[in-house]
Amino acid sequence: MMTSNEIREKFLNYFESKGHTRVSSSSLIPHNDPTLLFANAGMNQFKDTFLGISTLPYSRAASSQKCVRAGGKHNDLESVGKTARHHTFFEMLGNFSFGDYFKREAIEYAWEFLTQVLGLPKDKLWVSVYEEDDEAFNLWREISKVPQDRIVRLGEKDNFWSMGDTGPCGPCSEIYIDRGEEHSCDADKCELGVCDCDRWRELWNLVFMQYDRDEHGNLTPLPRPSIDTGMGLERIATVMQDVYSNYDTDLLRPIIAFVEDMTGKEYFEDERGFPFRVISDHSRA
Ligand code: SER
């Protein structure tokens, strides 16, 4: 079994081998950004670089960023403990290009990392692209050879990423793993893009950063198109550790065991385990 520490290290190592500078997570409390209470994505600490306001001594970076999504534009609080995949606090693995590479390399790296480095089965992976993004659709076809019925075109809600109401944003492309038909829900259409159940596990979001959104919603092209990706460490850990829920990984399960010890109560993976999952998520946060 691959531990979460090993997965994180493999990710950072892989991107270093592709010329990225390894950058530490920023503090959860963002510096100099009144638009955010807590860091909510790996790209936050690079916001000014995406906007062209500041420069860095490197044009490629990779990090594992501590994030909290418990309010604001990205808020997963109400889903915690109910789904297998949501948290308030989580770690986001990300690679970034500041006006260096764009869609092609972002897709090549993500595909190579998942299928070659981690060895995930290609036939279980699905992709979504922004509905108007023919370029991303064609690149996925060319690079991954994923059949076109496993590349889904979705609208702005799913495939256009913004950090907050203002700031850098752009169309995105997400990589999902199908956890198997046996995990289908009761919905009439348990299909990717239609159904939000745990069968379809979004692993990695590749954002093609192209615009700055102002307070009136106007989009201004960024000085240099860039890349911002994010993959939840807890989510990829479930796949590599062959468990169904993030709460059964080596990141969360020890906390649940601790709560069992403290309370003298047994944890169950079904709805009876809800308070254990909430306590383990919130205490970790
Ligand atoms: N910023 C994007 C996200 O949070 C990709 O990292 O999903």
User: Angle formed by the axes of helices 233-240 and 4-17, to 10°?
Assistant: 110
Residue 195, Cβ neighbours under 10 Å: how many?
A: 16
Q: Is 41 in the pocket of ligand 1 (CB under 6 A)?
A: yes
pLDDT for residue 182: 85
Q: Is 94 in the pocket of ligand 1 (CB under 6 A)?
A: yes
Listing DSSP states for 214-281 in one string gives: -TT--EEEEEEEEEEEEEEHHHHHHHHTT-SSGGGSTTTHHHHHHHHHHHT----SSGGGHHHHHHHH
pLDDT for residue 189: 86
Q: Look at the block and give the residue holding tokens 């390399």.
A: 105
Q: Would strands 89-97 and 160-162 be described as parallel, antiparallel, or unpaired?
A: unpaired
Rg (CA), the chain: 19
Give the residue, 167 or 120, on which the prediction is more confident: 120
How many A from CA of 283 to the centre of ligand 1? 24
180-229 pLDDT tens trace: 888 888 888 898 988 888 899 999 999 999 999 999 999 999 989 999 99
Eight-class DSSP state of 27: P
Q: Is 230 in the pocket of ligand 1 (CB under 6 A)?
A: yes
Average pLDDT over residues 157-181: 93
How many A from CA of 43 to the centre of ligand 1? 7
How many A from CA of 120 to the centre of ligand 1? 21
Listing DSSP states for 67-83 in one string gives: EE-BSSSSB-GGGTTTS
pLDDT for residue 196: 84
Q: Report in angstroms the alpha-carbon separations of 130 from 15, 151, 252, 255.
A: 25, 10, 33, 38
95-152 pLDDT tens trace: 999 999 999 999 999 999 999 999 999 999 999 999 999 999 999 999 999 999 999 9
- Average model confidence (pLDDT) across the chain: 95
Per the CB < 8 A criterion, the answer to whether 117 and 14 are in contact is yes
272-234-86 Cα angle (round to 5): 50
Give the pLDDT band of residue 164 (cuts 50, 70, 90).
confident
Give the rounded percent of residues in the chain with a pLDDT score beyond 90. 86
Cite the DSSP H helix spans in 78-131: 103-112
Per the CB < 8 A criterion, the answer to whether 240 and 250 are in contact is no
Atom of ligand 1 nearest to the CA of 40: 4
Atom of ligand 1 nearest to the CA of 231: 6
Per the CB < 8 A criterion, the answer to whether 212 and 222 are in contact is yes
54-56-62 Cα angle (round to 5): 120
Residue 130, Cβ neighbours under 10 Å: how many?
A: 23
